[in-house]
Chains A and B, each alone.
Chain A
Amino acid sequence: MTWETVIGLETHVELATKTKIFCSCTTQFGGDPNTHCCPVCTGMPGTLPVLNKKVLEFAVKAGLALNCDITRYSKFDRKNYFYPDLPKAYQISQLYLPIARNGAVSIHTDAGDKTIRIHELHMEEDAGKLVHDPWIDQTRADYNRCGVPLIEIVTEPDFRTADEVIAYLEKLKETLQYLGVSDCKMQEGSLRCDVNLSVRPVGAEELGTRTEMKNLNSFKAIVRAIDYEAKRQIELIGEGRRVVQETRRWDENKDATYAMRSKENAQDYRYFPEPDIPPIELSQAYLDGLRSAQPELAEEKRARYRRGYGLPEYDCRMITSDSALARFFEELVELGAPPKQGANWIMGEVLGALSARALEPRDMKLTAPTLARLIALVGEGKLNRNTAVKVFEAIFDTDVDVDAYVKEHGLEQVNDDGLVREICARVLEANPQSVADYRGGKEKAFGFLVGQVMRELKGRANPQSVNAVLRELLGG
């Protein structure tokens, strides 16, 4: 029998607001334990949550970008459970009237294009973190993360392969980053994903029994967990056994999932409307305002780069893979850099330098005006490209004035034809064997001669004019 894997995702994304969802504590990652919290986010008796308007704005922006219906009358609910990382013993979330519903995201894989339906998007608060110290056998609670705003995005069970899941997550990440609502750093936990998976015979209508996998901390882990879990379920059924509806935890080290709790042991969260936060009523004007302020998303940018700048699809994808990078590119072009040259610099030197330093584009020191000037100097023939690359490497981490740097280090291109001619003649004279080889048909010897001239000129000559002069002196 052939089996089909059916997958739905629940993705938690930390919003990039400066302050927490219900108080004014910072959302900054890290910090000494329990230094980013206050009586409100630690749920001290008598304190009350007040909704951060920026959280609402970010959630609505995300909902709009994911083509959702925005709920005009939305509410918060309490999800009740005991755990030491949850100081109120309830999480303020949205169950009955989530802020956005019925969205759709189009994804692209090698198998083609596909639409993934979004069931809902809701706002909630994050919980704290428990740190176990095995040496003293004690668990300590760090409440810094308590009240960091999250949106949870729940898809319909529309995925059939791990490829589709990754394509969706890449698209989601790209969209949310472009909106500026989240930095989506999986390694810092600002994007977390639970995978619901079941299998069924190909062609079957009914869904199989699903399991939910947690603790998936990287795209790699997601792919491996999906492969593992699909195989496990197919084998179970093959042996005549049943899949149990349960939550399973992915163990990165063992490359396997194991059961955390079954449905029978599932908690009853006793959801009910949060009485401390009034219902949220959104006006048409508010929605119109946000809709018209939505930034251009990656897909629209790619289309514009293709049409407007004639860039190849590959370039468009590379440049728009990160919103900061795309902004950088657009600034280069605005400053007069030819689009294709700007694209080449970004895809080659910029991405190379970033990856060598393990930096994100948004953390880059080098500014667009500096690189634009460098490109202009090459275009004006004042710097040859090889030298420009060296300058780029030298100033990448400091962003100094390009003109001053070039001048200080005497790197201007030598455009003095007389000087080039003189050096060429001298090189030919000093290398009679190479001249003879060239004349005897060995093209390689010509390269050697060019190299010698460039060395004499410390690399500052325009390679084209060196070529031309040498060929002329060698008699064509």
Chain B
Amino acid sequence: MVLRELTALELGAAIKKGEVSIKEAAQAALDAVAVQDQALNAFITVTGERALDRAEKLQAGVKDAQSPLYGVPMAIKDNICTKGVKTSCASKILGDFAPPYDAAVVDRLAEAGALSLGKLNMDEFAMGSTSETSFYGPVKNPWDLDRVPGGSSGGAAAAVAAGMSWYAIGSDTGGSIRQPASYCGVTGMKPTYGAVSRYGLIAYASSLDQIGPLCRDAADCAAILDALQGKDPKDGTSLDGQYGNLLSGLTGDVRGMKIGLPVDCYGDGLDGEVKTAVLAVADVLKARGAEVVELSFPVMEYVVPTYYIIAAAEASSNLSRFDGVKYGWRAQEYEGLADLYRKTRTQGFGAEVKRRILLGAFVLSSGYYDAYYKKALQVKAVIKEAFDKAFQQCDLLLTPVAPATAPRLGESLSDPLKMYLSDVYTVSVNLAGLPGLSMPCGFDAKGLPIGAQLIGPHFGEGTLLNAAHAFQLDTDYHKRAPKGGDLA
């Protein structure tokens, strides 16, 4: 048994049966981190000792374990608060901040018997599509070390793809789970807005942020979501999805399911190899009895500007609390309060974060609010309507995740506008608060993974996961792994 080849559920079953101890699994993961992470830089903090201690404690309770994920090692994106463990958002400004509380998802995972290996690298404050804006240096793509893993949950995607962690918890504001999952060849999901509590997720754009899993396949995804989802009294925007047990709903039966192909998502700017691979997903599902319908989604040109106005506006407010007064990093020399604020924020934030704060402050400022922010909210409502209309004609939508496979390091930073435009397929899902899933559906000529996106209606997670599961029953893209040997 090669542990790194197992899915989280398979490892959970082996642990339950006593075929492998939790400590062995944890140690295997930590060994993989030790060998590979110098090159990949997927982790900001590795909590090895904690993990081994926890493994021993969990082992004692393995007989009574209820969760299929009991004892399975995992890792957490560094914008999710972990009590007593540094939580940096990959920013200099948070310094060695260790929150005195756990995020709600961390509590829920602990109840499910999860074992954390540490905290994962990301774009600073989740702002970026490449995981290059981290104060702790860029994350590399395990399939090609010269390429980015995507972002902002790049550390999460890389860790799962490289076999350093069986699954990871990330966050998705405009594609930050789905796009890196696509670039790294893993399965990732952004649940319906409100399905998972945001308490303890350090906010980027509160109305769009959502926590979700990155993992090996749709079944792992369902099991993790089962553990995470549900109304939380500490998050007023959380909701009860009432979709029962998602894992047990994975039948692979998609007969009669209507798959919608929005023609507007397959036009200019989409790489030919990506297009072919994504459309092939429709054929696989069709062979299993699904119907495929083409439909129009006539709002694509508005989604990126709308997203960047709303996300930046909320970010400018959410990130104001990092002022050097109460926690985190403070500028060394300053004169008076205004100078303390100015120097701390000037030196503590990276360029991309500052760009978005300035953009956000601008669109909210008096005289510009109506022209930008208010209008963006109106367009957001129009985008939502476009989805409602689409879901009158189909059960889920099939689109690309990104226009192309992973770019080279440094390519995107020089042209932020180009980077923003590459979010065109993912941001609309956040604007409408819908569930979106990214799964591997092929490789391009360079050997880089291609991802397909499935989008469901509000709380349509069950349908999404079942369709992805059906696809994965007939394909093995999700089982392929990068050659770890290259990394050592």
Residues in chain A within 8 A of chain B (CB atoms): 39, 42-51, 78, 80, 82, 84, 87-90, 141, 268, 270-272, 275-278
Considering only CB atoms, which chain A residue lies closest to B338 in the complex? A82
Residues in chain B within 8 A of chain A (CB atoms): 79-81, 87, 89, 94, 97, 99-101, 103, 198-203, 205-207, 233-237, 313-314, 316-317, 320-323, 325-327, 337, 341, 361, 364-366, 369, 373
A89 to B314, CA, bound (A): 13
SS of A interface (majority): loop
SS of B interface (majority): loop
Question: 27 interchain pairs (CB within 8 A)?
Answer: A43-B321, A44-B100, A44-B327, A45-B97, A45-B321, A45-B327, A46-B81, A46-B99, A46-B199, A46-B201, A47-B199, A47-B200, A48-B235, A48-B236, A50-B233, A50-B234, A80-B320, A84-B323, A84-B325, A87-B326, A90-B317, A90-B320, A270-B364, A270-B369, A275-B206, A275-B314, A278-B237
A276's partner among B236, B321, B327 (CB-CB below 8 A) is B236
Considering only CB atoms, which chain A residue lies closest to B205 in the complex? A275
A49's partner among B101, B236, B341 (CB-CB below 8 A) is B236
Given contacts A45-B202, A46-B103, A278-B236, contact A272 B326 (CB under 8 A): no
Considering only CB atoms, which chain A residue lies closest to B100 in the complex? A39
A378 to B22, CA, bound (A): 84
A87's partner among B199, B233, B321, B366 (CB-CB below 8 A) is B321
Considering only CB atoms, which chain A residue lies closest to B197 in the complex? A48
Q: Report the 3 A-B pairs with minimum CB-CB distance, sorted nearest first.
A: A89-B320, A275-B207, A270-B364
Query: A50 and B236: CB pair below 8 A?
Result: yes
B171: shortest Cβ distance to chain A, in Å?
A: 11
A47 to B97, CA, bound (A): 14
Considering only CB atoms, which chain A residue lies closest to B97 in the complex? A45
Contact partners of B337 in chain A: CB under 8 A: 84
Considering only CB atoms, which chain B residue lies closest to A143 in the complex? B326
A43 to B341, CA, bound (A): 17
A272's partner among B87, B89, B313 (CB-CB below 8 A) is B313
Contact partners of B100 in chain A: CB under 8 A: 39, 44
Query: B316 and A270: CB pair below 8 A?
Result: yes
Contact partners of A43 in chain B: CB under 8 A: 321
A276 to B233, CA, bound (A): 13
Contact partners of A42 in chain B: CB under 8 A: 326
Contact partners of A46 in chain B: CB under 8 A: 79-81, 87, 99, 101, 103, 199-203
A275 to B314, CA, bound (A): 8
Contact partners of A47 in chain B: CB under 8 A: 101, 199-200
B211: shortest Cβ distance to chain A, in Å?
A: 11
Contact partners of B313 in chain A: CB under 8 A: 272
Further pairs besides A46-B87, A275-B206, A277-B237: 20, Cβ < 8 Å: A45-B89, A45-B97, A45-B202, A45-B327, A46-B81, A46-B99, A46-B103, A47-B199, A47-B200, A50-B234, A50-B235, A50-B236, A78-B317, A80-B317, A84-B323, A84-B325, A87-B321, A89-B320, A272-B373, A278-B236
B361's partner among A39, A48, A141, A270 (CB-CB below 8 A) is A270
B104: shortest Cβ distance to chain A, in Å?
A: 9
Query: B94 and A45: CB pair below 8 A?
Result: yes
B329: shortest Cβ distance to chain A, in Å?
A: 13
Considering only CB atoms, which chain B residue lies closest to A43 in the complex? B321
Contact partners of B323 in chain A: CB under 8 A: 82, 84, 89
Query: B200 and A51: CB pair below 8 A?
Result: no
Query: A39 and B101: CB pair below 8 A?
Result: yes
Considering only CB atoms, which chain B residue lies closest to A90 in the complex? B317
Contact partners of B325 in chain A: CB under 8 A: 84, 87, 141
Given contacts A268-B365, A272-B369, contact A277 B236 (CB under 8 A): yes
B464: shortest Cβ distance to chain A, in Å?
A: 24
Given contacts A268-B365, A270-B361, A272-B364, contact A48 B198 (CB under 8 A): yes
